[in-house]
Chains A and B, each alone.
Chain A
């Protein structure tokens, strides 16, 4: 599925490990349960992990330096746990790699995801990136600090977006 990153649609070169099958060569995303298998595999490819919204990100603490991508998944857009997972990865675990968000997400949540530290969104096939770009540009001000450390806008906690 296409990947939206920095306003660009990019082909996704990563493969998600298929259940019950051996891990493919190349860049691969594995579920938490297969993480040790991924870490132990003999391949040049990079490794990422797929988290469900109920997984504990703290479980990744020791292995994060060896991961390039964490993919957070929304089972439904109303399940807001991935926002906290993203922020925990950035703020508590100092994860420097890519954080992707996938699953059922609305464009109206795009800015929130970015401000929690997500770097790319897995779009459904055929999604119009212009709608997401418009959502990204909808606001020029926010009212609280975020992972992105935006500049202050006047007084208090206001931040200038864009």
Chain B
């Protein structure tokens, strides 16, 4: 049963043309040349490093890691099969979805990297600017084009920004990395307030959007919530205004200390008002005609996006209701892993990449192939990677959910835990990363196993748990309701717990450290006691984060450090 008639353009993402393909091939040739110049000694390692980083190639503890861009998280079935092929041919048969909606392969050989980039280019993919001190992959809402509450499709604007930022002549050697997120609905699902620039679209006049512009948010060593520079930036000024922000940052951001080089530090040092006045001065002085984003350009980009053509859903809703009644496990999965769709009779599905006891975000090549098959059969050939390291099938007819779930169940992808305590976000940690102080994966696996019972998770309800292996905070521990930070305690791996972080639109907040670091085993037990405290003290219908905010950290701290 297929609900996905073929579309002339790929659904959900920008369709490359010959010009774009030529560019990608030229980029591969350039990188091949750079590798040769490195091997010949014409480039020093110091000089080669930023060049390889801007092609996604990191040197980790044991091997090179390649981070491949998935712009705004959207990928076609064909592209997912290319990733499966890369996993099988050049890596150890799996990949890892990241919090920037990208994918990483951890066991890459430098000499094979140009060839891999060439394979990617053949599928209209690349690794451009997935690392380095430049504008990174622009992220967007994983329910774009499907969500009920959407004002506009953020992917069109994310694509405009992707193109504009690609090999930008002025902004490719910034003080530090630069991350932009675009939300197309009032409910912020992209953590816009934790980005160097967060854009939230609102409906403007004449059917054109306006953007709320937030600047200077971020996690890392110095977590900060972004400050609002504009409430209603007109669409036509979007590029000009971002150019103005980036220029002030490029000229004045600190370059003497990489830990103080992000734009948030500049915003804090100048103060929001002074920063805003510098941006406005730049904006007023610049050649605005050159950077104007005309409606025609927006529409030209939009025209390169395929849109799903929905078949009438008939009695899909009634059929789903009957199936849910008949199968309790399926019903539980639908309630956690499906989301309302603006098209009657359809739903979006989040496929959990967090099985009980598993490694968050890791997917095998066989699972990638299965996801590609399901996307083709049920969701117009389109998949999305979420910033919480899961995969979304955006447009599934409700009477197909049962078949989708059964196929996922058979392949280890059917876990009903989206938004629950085992839907853990974790960085690669000391198993891979040379920056880490502690391993993030084993503690994630132990917590996942500890709370694996589906009834227990449902009883606990919505709870975000984030784990970072070091202070650089790639696992976004500050934004977790419960955060875990790996530290080095006299040469031993240890973990600090933070409480009360949130990235949602109901108030972004930064988690507070509870106390001194504990061993892995103690940390797992402490978190269990924190959750028990919540269960004992919550009021009717109160979620974990709400209880934290009401009670403050004291009772949870007492529980965490209670003698065993």
Q: What is the interface of chain A, defined by CB distance below 8 A to chain B?
A: 77-81, 83-85, 87-88, 91-92, 106, 108-109, 111-113, 115-116, 131, 134, 138-146, 153-158
CB pair A157–B19 under 8 Å, yes or no, is no
If over half of B's interface residues share one DSSP class (helix, strand or loop), that class is named, otherwise mixed; here it is helix
Across the interface, which residues of A come within 8 angstroms of B30, CB to CB? Answer: 108, 138-139
CB pair B168–A154 under 8 Å, yes or no, is no
Cα A111 to Cα B290 in complex, Å, equals 19
Flag B287-313 by CB within 8 Å of A: 1 or 0 each.
100110000010011000000000000
CB pair A145–B291 under 8 Å, yes or no, is yes
**A112 and B23 in contact (CB under 8 A), knowing A138-B29, A156-B297?**
no
Picked from B33, B37, B170, B173, the residue with its CB within 8 Å of the CB of A78 is: B173
CB pair A153–B19 under 8 Å, yes or no, is yes
Instruction: Identify 19 residue pairs between A and B in the complex whose beta-carbon atoms are under 8 Å apart, listed by A's number.
Output: A77-B173, A79-B173, A81-B251, A83-B170, A83-B173, A87-B247, A108-B30, A109-B173, A112-B172, A115-B169, A138-B30, A138-B33, A143-B165, A143-B167, A144-B168, A156-B163, A156-B301, A157-B163, A157-B239
In B9-53, the 8 Å CB interface with A consists of: 17, 19, 22-23, 26-27, 29-30, 33-34, 37, 42-43, 47, 50-51
Residue from the set A79, A112, A144, A145 with the largest chain B CB neighbour count within 10 Å = A144
Question: Does B512 touch A at the CB level, under 8 Å?
Answer: no
> How many residue pairs at the A-B interface have CB separations less than 8 Å?
109
CB pair B34–A81 under 8 Å, yes or no, is no
Question: Does B255 touch A at the CB level, under 8 Å?
Answer: yes
CB pair A78–B50 under 8 Å, yes or no, is yes
CB pair A81–B250 under 8 Å, yes or no, is yes
Look across to chain A and name the residue whose beta carbon is closest to the beta carbon of B132. A78
Chain A nearest Cβ from B124, distance in angstroms: 15
Across the interface, which residues of A come within 8 angstroms of B290, CB to CB? Answer: 91, 145
Cα A83 to Cα B251 in complex, Å, equals 9
In B317-363, the 8 Å CB interface with A consists of: none
Picked from B34, B37, B171, the residue with its CB within 8 Å of the CB of A80 is: B171
Question: Does B269 touch A at the CB level, under 8 Å?
Answer: no
Across the interface, which residues of B come within 8 angstroms of A80, CB to CB? Answer: 133, 170-175, 250
Question: Does B120 touch A at the CB level, under 8 Å?
Answer: no
Question: Does B551 touch A at the CB level, under 8 Å?
Answer: no
**A108 and B26 in contact (CB under 8 A), knowing A91-B287, A146-B169, A156-B301?**
no
Across the interface, which residues of B come within 8 angstroms of A153, CB to CB? Answer: 19
CB pair A154–B19 under 8 Å, yes or no, is yes
Question: Does B536 touch A at the CB level, under 8 Å?
Answer: no
Question: Does B449 touch A at the CB level, under 8 Å?
Answer: no
CB pair B291–A141 under 8 Å, yes or no, is no
Cα A31 to Cα B167 in complex, Å, equals 31
Across the interface, which residues of A come within 8 angstroms of B255, CB to CB? Answer: 79, 81
In B216-271, the 8 Å CB interface with A consists of: 239, 247, 250-251, 255
CB pair A112–B26 under 8 Å, yes or no, is no
Flag B150-193 by CB within 8 Å of A: 1 or 0 each.
00000000001001111111111111000000000000000000
Question: Does B554 touch A at the CB level, under 8 Å?
Answer: no
Question: Does B435 touch A at the CB level, under 8 Å?
Answer: no
CB pair B169–A143 under 8 Å, yes or no, is no
**A155 and B251 in contact (CB under 8 A), knowing A92-B286, A140-B22?**
no
Cα A92 to Cα B169 in complex, Å, equals 17
Question: Does B562 touch A at the CB level, under 8 Å?
Answer: no
* Contacts beyond the supplied A77-B50, A108-B30, A138-B30: 10 A-B pairs with Cβ under 8 Å: A84-B247, A84-B251, A87-B170, A88-B247, A91-B290, A113-B169, A131-B42, A143-B163, A143-B167, A156-B297
Across the interface, which residues of A come within 8 angstroms of B19, CB to CB? Answer: 141, 153-154, 158
Across the interface, which residues of B come within 8 angstroms of A79, CB to CB? Answer: 173, 255
Q: What is the interface of chain B, defined by CB distance below 8 A to chain A?
A: 17, 19, 22-23, 26-27, 29-30, 33-34, 37, 42-43, 47, 50-51, 133, 160, 163-175, 239, 247, 250-251, 255, 285-287, 290-291, 297, 300-301
Across the interface, which residues of A come within 8 angstroms of B33, CB to CB? Answer: 134, 138
Cα A80 to Cα B169 in complex, Å, equals 10
**A158 and B169 in contact (CB under 8 A), knowing A78-B50, A138-B30?**
no
Cα A98 to Cα B165 in complex, Å, equals 27
Look across to chain B and name the residue whose beta carbon is closest to the beta carbon of A53. B255
Across the interface, which residues of A come within 8 angstroms of B34, CB to CB? Answer: 108
CB pair B169–A83 under 8 Å, yes or no, is yes
Across the interface, which residues of B come within 8 angstroms of A88, CB to CB? Answer: 247
Across the interface, which residues of B come within 8 angstroms of A84, CB to CB? Answer: 170, 247, 250-251
Cα A127 to Cα B372 in complex, Å, equals 49
Cα A92 to Cα B244 in complex, Å, equals 12
Across the interface, which residues of B come within 8 angstroms of A144, CB to CB? Answer: 163-166, 168-169
Look across to chain A and name the residue whose beta carbon is closest to the beta carbon of B164. A144
Look across to chain B and name the residue whose beta carbon is closest to the beta carbon of A74. B173
Across the interface, which residues of A come within 8 angstroms of B27, CB to CB? Answer: 139
Look across to chain B and name the residue whose beta carbon is closest to the beta carbon of A81. B251
Across the interface, which residues of A come within 8 angstroms of B160, CB to CB? Answer: 156-157
Across the interface, which residues of B come within 8 angstroms of A87, CB to CB? Answer: 170, 247
CB pair B23–A91 under 8 Å, yes or no, is no
Chain B nearest Cβ from A47, distance in angstroms: 25
CB pair A141–B174 under 8 Å, yes or no, is no
CB pair B169–A139 under 8 Å, yes or no, is no
Picked from B17, B50, B250, the residue with its CB within 8 Å of the CB of A83 is: B250
Chain B nearest Cβ from A156, distance in angstroms: 5
CB pair A78–B133 under 8 Å, yes or no, is yes
Across the interface, which residues of A come within 8 angstroms of B43, CB to CB? Answer: 106
Look across to chain A and name the residue whose beta carbon is closest to the beta carbon of B291. A145
Across the interface, which residues of A come within 8 angstroms of B167, CB to CB? Answer: 112, 139, 142-143
Cα A111 to Cα B250 in complex, Å, equals 18
Chain A nearest Cβ from B289, distance in angstroms: 10
Picked from B23, B50, B51, the residue with its CB within 8 Å of the CB of A139 is: B23
CB pair A77–B163 under 8 Å, yes or no, is no
Residue from the set A84, A87, A113, A139 with the largest chain B CB neighbour count within 10 Å = A84
